[in-house]
Structure 1
């Protein structure tokens, strides 16, 4: 999965925090990404045009970020849900605390709250925007 973005390094840093991911290591045979990119003939001024993160447990999919010149134009057709509440079987106060804690953490990292979704008087999820205005939900 790859995100087009304005700043690959910043987006990778944000999403690593949001998902509990880590920076992907360089390909096998290279000690650093810089060494790999130099060996591939990528000019140094393009080295920050891409970034990659991965699940430290190796279970979830890796995510890449690619700097592109055009800005986001419309609502995402695909978005990520950060499932932190434990599900609807969890006490509503506990679910709300878990969602609020993650939202607070992500706002401090540069995200913005777009809207709160309340169902039957209780917080169900929060739609947020990452630092480049891509929609995602904290559920």
Structure 2
């Protein structure tokens, strides 16, 4: 049997898919995924597949601007988040440990300020040898992620 190559896609359960998708577009530089091939817009696709209009905001998908990397889908679920994530995303902005520490910290703090302004919350900062290594954050719905 000839199988297509699997692709990685991430899915985040949430209560407000469009809002969380907008937050993560900002955090990662992603864009809203276009409708499937053959449809000019999402409403046309949803109507054709007989999805009731009151369910149109139950999901959202974003992708890298350049097309390289995994897509991330957001799916509305009825239950709230109740425990720590076992898998989380790292928003890598510092340039790596080879970058001068003050510049790394400046980049991490700038990303933190921007994302806090858009609904994120800092849980804690982790230090290595007395220097900021990364921040543990929560997105607007409480999902953990790190700014590294």
- TM-score between both structures, scaled by the size of structure 1: 0.99
- Does residue 123 in structure 1 map to residue 132 in structure 2? yes
- 1:88 maps to 97
Whether 1:10 and 2:11 are equivalent positions in the alignment is: no
- 1:99 equivalent in alignment to 2:128: no
Specify the SS of the correspondent of 1:11: helix
Distance in 2 separating the partners of 1:47 and 1:35: 11
| RMSD of aligned alpha carbons | 0.5
- How much does 1:118 deviate? 1.1
Shift of 1:19: 0.4
C-alpha displacement of 1:18: 0.4
| Residues in 2 aligned to 1:47 and 1:106: alpha-carbon distance in whole angstroms | 26
Distance in 2, matches of 1:87 and 1:47, equals: 40
> How does 1:15-30 map onto structure 2 within 5 Å?
15-30=24-39
What is the total number of aligned residue pairs between the two structures?
139
Q: What secondary structure, in the 3-state scheme, does the structure 2 residue paired with 1:48 have?
A: helix
**Matched residue of 1:123: which SS?**
strand
Where does structure 1 lack aligned partners over 5 or more consecutive residues? Answer: none
Mark the runs of 5 or more structure 2 residues left unpaired by the alignment.
1-9
- SS of the residue corresponding to residue 128 of structure 1 reads strand
Which residue of the other structure, out of 64, 75, 82, is the alignment partner of 1:73? 82
Partners of 1:61 and 1:47 lie apart in 2 by 23
Q: TM (normalized to structure 2)?
A: 0.93
- Say which SS state the counterpart of residue 47 (structure 1) adopts: helix
The runs of at least 4 aligned residues of structure 1 exceeding 4 Å deviation read: none
| Secondary structure at 2:57 match in 1 | coil
